[in-house]
Amino acid sequence: MRIIAGRSKGRTLESIKGRNTRPTSDKVKGAIFNIIQGRIPDSLVLDLFAGTGNLGLEALSRGARKAIFIDKDINAIRIIKKNCYNLGYKEQVEIYRNDAARGLTELSKRDILFDIVFMDPPYSKGYEEALLQLINEANILHNDGIVIIEHDSKTTVPDRIAGLYRYDFRKYGGTGVSFYRKE
């Protein structure tokens, strides 16, 4: 796993041992970032179910202003901190050990508006709809902000939910990527 473009291009990321984390492949990550590349400079990014920090760190490498990482696994938090430090981004990040729903609730209290929200939950657990609803209720997304969800390509995610609509969907083998924005 590596950073594929920008300031840290080619740098490798530490990964988490075991099978609890499923990192986004370089192919899928490259495709996502090709689609959203114009939105990244100076953006505020949220990486939910952050794992290694792969998506948020790629955004920072490509010019994002700041990234906030949330994961509930202590080993993931350690790896995210190590990757941020190794790449020189420790001043541009906030890292929280929390589940996604509680993390969103806490962020809503801070009046933060994100430009890009990455969400890569465990496949086939049904987190997508509830978290899209919570993202909308928490009012943490800029009016022109986007939510990008990586999911099993066989999982049906809604076209519309809670004031958000899916404006794009891509399939890469067994991985589906859905892009949402406010209606």
Buried b (16+ CB within 10 A) or exposed e, 79-94: bbbebbeebebeebbe
- Nearest CA to 174 out of 4, 24, 2 is that of 24
All domains in the chain, ordered by first residue: 26-31+40-182 (3.40.50.150)
pLDDT for 21 equals 57
pLDDT of residue 167: 96
Q: Is the CB of residue 100 less than 8 Å from the CB of residue 119?
A: yes
pLDDT score, position 1: 85
pLDDT (0 to 100) of residue 124 = 73
Per-residue pLDDT at 156: 85
Do residues 58 and 28 lie in contact, with contact meaning Cβ atoms separated by under 8 Å? Answer: no
Task: Give phi and psi for 59, each to the nearest 5.
Answer: -65, -45
Separation between Cα atoms, residue 35 and residue 18, nearest integer Å: 31
Secondary structure of 70-130 in HEC code, one letter for each residue: EECCHHHHHHHHHHHHHHCCHHHEEEEECCHHHHHHHHHCCCCCEEEEEECCCCCCCHHHH
Residue with tokens 């740098």, as numbered in its chain = 11
CA 170 to chain centre: 16
Q: Given this model, what pLDDT does residue 24 score?
A: 77
Q: Which residues of the chain have pLDDT under 70?
A: 18-23
Closest by CA to 72, choosing from 50, 104, 41, 44, is: 50
Strands 93-97 and 160-161: unpaired
At 105 the pLDDT is 93
